[in-house]
Structure 1
Amino acid sequence: MSDLHFVLENPQDNNRREHKKRPRLVTSCDNCRAKKLKCIKGGENAPCESCTSSGVTCEFRDRDQYFAERSAKSVNAASNSPGSQRPQLSPRARSSVPDYGPSQRGEDLTKRPGSSRSQKSTKSLSSPPLLPSHCPQPTYDSRSAIPDDTPPLFDSNQWQRPNPTLMVSFVNAFYRTGGQQFGFLVYDGLMQQVYTNDLDHVLANSIAAWATRYEKIPELGKLDRTSVSEQYVSRAKLLFSSLPPGPNLSALHALIVLAWLQSSHLDEFYAFAQAANKMSSDMNISAISMSSGDPSHRQVLQQTWSSVSHLMNVSNASTSEGIKPRQ
């Protein structure tokens, strides 16, 4: 009996313990959820059958609001945790001290896109910088022109990425204004990466640049859309200049998006198109897209290769004839 120990616990202690909740999976649109119908979609970005037959907009506002709330909570928890604060670097120091965080590491193309735990490629590429020297780099602090009641454009704890509390609005605006044309970017996959903070920083800035260029974001108030978009473009360029060697599918997707975003500036359009073409060649996308075992990943690679080929055709025609590129 001497080996027995009795421990008295308060039954209410279990309620005080923090349990990490699993993300709520919302697979049905708002209309189907309200009518308690099975939501059947014809494709990744296509409206469901019920909304199509009813002639109503197929929206996921409940899911988007949930992701936004969860993202805001995770950001607040990270900012309040010990060791989360890092000193703010001056703009000049930022350009000379690249951060090789998980989302900037090269991705193993045999893995599914979007995974932040893909093994880093051992292949070394002794290639020149992705973008030519005539593409300007940011030398200013973008926060100086933002009113006090407007959320910052960038994450105060990770200067490489946009403010995560704005990313749900950015992704939705991106798809509403033409982002669905980029078939290699799947809405559900992007939203999941936004929630888990796994979205590649370069790609996140590219999506933010596109969204703020073509749609007014309510959270940003009266800020000039063109100016905000250019700040995200500049941040993406800065990150491109410090990318480590190796395959990076998310960076390639970002180059394609930025090329079309800058189509009104022929020099930058051509620079981004050439950088995308070179990266896809280094990654051997055309061959890998035929050999990938995962059908969904193979489709992403095939659509990526098709987008690069189309981009180069338009780029060559535009530069030779001096006409504005059209997507």
Structure 2
Amino acid sequence: MEEFHIVFEAPQDGQTRKKRARLVTSCDHCRLKKIKCVQSRNSSKCAACAAARVACKYHDREQYFAERGRIMSRNSPPSCRQKISMCGNDPQISITVMDTYHDPQSSSSSDASSPSSSVTDCSPSPTSAYSSLEPFIHTEPFEDSITLSPPPLWQSPCDIPSPIYSPNKTPFNVGTCSYGIIPEPLPSIQQSSYLLPLFDPQWPDRPHQTLMMHFIQTYFDHYGQSFPCLAYDETVRLFLEQTLSPLIATGIAALAAWYSDVPEVVRRGAADVCAAYCSHAKALVSRMEHLHSVETVHGLILVAWAEYKRARMSEFCAHVKQAKRISEEIGLANGTLIQLASSDYEESILRNTWGVLRQLVTTVDTWTA
């Protein structure tokens, strides 16, 4: 009797392997010139772009993360949907409104549409009272002493307003419902009205990864010299490896929102986006009370300055005092941790961290005196 041989043609098809994010570490200028892109630690420009006096952009990397984010959001089920029926009691026609302001942690998607229904996603953006607000604090590089005066107190809403649906703004012609015709949605309106959520659906404790690359670039363009306790190349590396602290990432996003020009920030309003990230950072701080490290101090410094720009002096003082208490416990305040640094780079980061924190503590002590 002949032996039967069983051959598995593609045994790897049954294995689901998560694809790692492609590391794009060179800017567009260096990729075009095919030269090595040497990143500076405290500047968002590489050495080649700084020497050539050209803008150091990462459009290729941003396009990759944007496309990757769209694919991931398309494959994942929607977080919150509101179904609104049209044309009276006609069960054939319905539309779905995406609530982009909904928290992905508290949402549960349990809706299913019939095969004969036509569904489209649209998210109207509410008019924000702070959409054209400019940041009122001009940050200067830290010197030996810093003088900060409390800005005028104004109230900024912490809660992001939920979108309001208006039947008059739907991309459907209601008059065709009586003839049993299901109109097609307008793709231009659908694409222009979609906004990415502020937080990542897969990691709800972090800002959206597609927006985060833009936030990091914007942060170091406007705050890199004022806060030398963070390095640009190290921050990008930690983000690409998905090991960046959620508190640091949220603080970067809150500060960069004031200078951001992406539709997700402009249409929501810089003040509301900053308020959302600051509120999320406050929840992260409450969960990290017993986690004392240099990263926690960095995150508290960023969140404290973000609260300062929102004129929330009580939150600013609370974060600065907590950062001071942690720095004393880990040995940063008395210099013990600095002496244990394993490299000149680490020693420089620790010294700059304590220098920034010491000036913030002096400012808080001056106000409370």
- TM exceeds 0.5? yes
In structure 1, C-alpha distance between the alignment counterparts of 2:75 and 2:158, rounded to whole Å: 31
In structure 1, C-alpha distance between the alignment counterparts of 2:47 and 2:253, rounded to whole Å: 30
Question: How large is the Cα RMSD of the aligned pairs?
Answer: 3.7
How has the CA–CA distance of structure 1 residues 24 and 139 changed in structure 2, closer, same or farther, with 3 Å as cutoff?
closer
Asked whether 1:160 is paired with 2:205, we answer yes
Q: Contact 1:162–1:204 (CA<8 Å) still a contact in 2?
A: yes
Aligned match for 1:250, one of 275, 279, 295: 295
Asked whether 1:236 is paired with 2:305, we answer no
Q: Secondary structure at the match of 1:315?
A: helix
Q: Secondary structure at the match of 2:342?
A: coil
How many residue pairs end up in the alignment? Answer: 266
Q: Secondary structure at the match of 1:241?
A: helix
How has the CA–CA distance of structure 1 residues 275 and 38 changed in structure 2, closer, same or farther, with 3 Å as cutoff?
same
How has the CA–CA distance of structure 1 residues 295 and 68 changed in structure 2, closer, same or farther, with 3 Å as cutoff?
farther
Q: Contact 2:42–2:224 (CA<8 Å) still a contact in 1?
A: no
Asked whether 1:88 is paired with 2:106, we answer yes
Q: Secondary structure at the match of 2:162?
A: helix
Aligned match for 1:282, one of 324, 329, 345: 329
Q: Which runs of 5+ in 2 are unaligned?
A: 79-103, 109-156, 166-192
Q: Secondary structure at the match of 1:144?
A: coil
Aligned match for 1:63, one of 58, 61, 64: 61
Report the counterpart of residue 302 of structure 1 in structure 2. Answer: 351
Aligned match for 2:363, one of 314, 317, 321: 314
Q: Secondary structure at the match of 1:212?
A: helix
Query: Which amino acid letter does the alignment assign opposite residue 246 of structure 1?
Result: L
In structure 2, C-alpha distance between the alignment counterparts of 1:298 and 1:58, rounded to whole Å: 28
TM-score calculated relative to the size of structure 2: 0.59
Q: Contact 2:304–2:317 (CA<8 Å) still a contact in 1?
A: yes
Deviation string 1:106-162 (CA, Å, 9 cap, x unpaired) is xxxxxxxxxxxxxxxxxxxxxxxxxxxxxxxx996x473499722222234544332
Q: Contact 1:289–1:298 (CA<8 Å) still a contact in 2?
A: yes
Deviation string 1:47-101 (CA, Å, 9 cap, x unpaired) is 3443233221122332343344456656777779xxxxx97279xxxxxxxxxxx
Greater share of helix residues, 1 or 2?
Answer: 1
Q: Contact 1:256–1:276 (CA<8 Å) still a contact in 2?
A: yes
In structure 2, C-alpha distance between the alignment counterparts of 1:47 and 1:72, rounded to whole Å: 28
Deviation string 1:230-283 (CA, Å, 9 cap, x unpaired) is 111111112212224132322211111122223353333322221211111112
In structure 1, C-alpha distance between the alignment counterparts of 2:260 and 2:198, rounded to whole Å: 15
In structure 2, C-alpha distance between the alignment counterparts of 1:54 and 1:45, rounded to whole Å: 15
TM-score calculated relative to the size of structure 1: 0.66
Q: Secondary structure at the match of 1:65?
A: helix
Listed as ranges, the matches of 1:197-212 within 5 Å are 197-212=242-257
Q: Contact 2:28–2:58 (CA<8 Å) still a contact in 1?
A: yes
Aligned match for 2:162, one of 131, 135, 144: 144
Listed as ranges, the matches of 1:1-327 within 5 Å are 6-10=5-9, 23-41=21-39, 43-45=41-43, 47-70=45-68, 88=106, 142=160, 144-145=162-163, 149-264=194-309, 265=311, 266-285=313-332, 286-320=335-369
Query: Which amino acid letter does the alignment assign opposite residue 190 of structure 1?
Result: T
In structure 1, C-alpha distance between the alignment counterparts of 2:17 and 2:236, rounded to whole Å: 23
Deviation string 1:279-307 (CA, Å, 9 cap, x unpaired) is 11112123112212244333322221222
How has the CA–CA distance of structure 1 residues 300 and 72 changed in structure 2, closer, same or farther, with 3 Å as cutoff?
farther
Query: Which amino acid letter does the alignment assign opposite residue 255 of structure 1?
Result: L
Q: Report the identity percentage.
A: 30
In structure 2, C-alpha distance between the alignment counterparts of 1:168 and 1:282, rounded to whole Å: 33
Superposition deviation, residue 7 in structure 1: 4.6
Superposition deviation, residue 191 in structure 1: 2.5
Query: Which amino acid letter does the alignment assign opposite residue 54 of structure 2?
Result: V
Superposition deviation, residue 222 in structure 1: 1.4
Report the counterpart of residue 93 of structure 1 in structure 2. Answer: none
Larger Rg: 2
Deviation string 1:212-234 (CA, Å, 9 cap, x unpaired) is 13333333441111011111111
Report the counterpart of residue 114 of structure 1 in structure 2. Answer: none
How has the CA–CA distance of structure 1 residues 89 and 248 changed in structure 2, closer, same or farther, with 3 Å as cutoff?
farther
Q: Which runs of 5+ in 1 are unaligned?
A: 81-85, 91-137, 321-327
Q: Contact 1:289–1:301 (CA<8 Å) still a contact in 2?
A: yes
In structure 1, C-alpha distance between the alignment counterparts of 2:203 and 2:238, rounded to whole Å: 16
Deviation string 1:171-222 (CA, Å, 9 cap, x unpaired) is 2222223245322222233233333333222222211111113333333441
Q: Contact 1:67–1:195 (CA<8 Å) still a contact in 2?
A: no
Query: Which amino acid letter does the alignment assign opposite residue 48 of structure 2?
Result: S
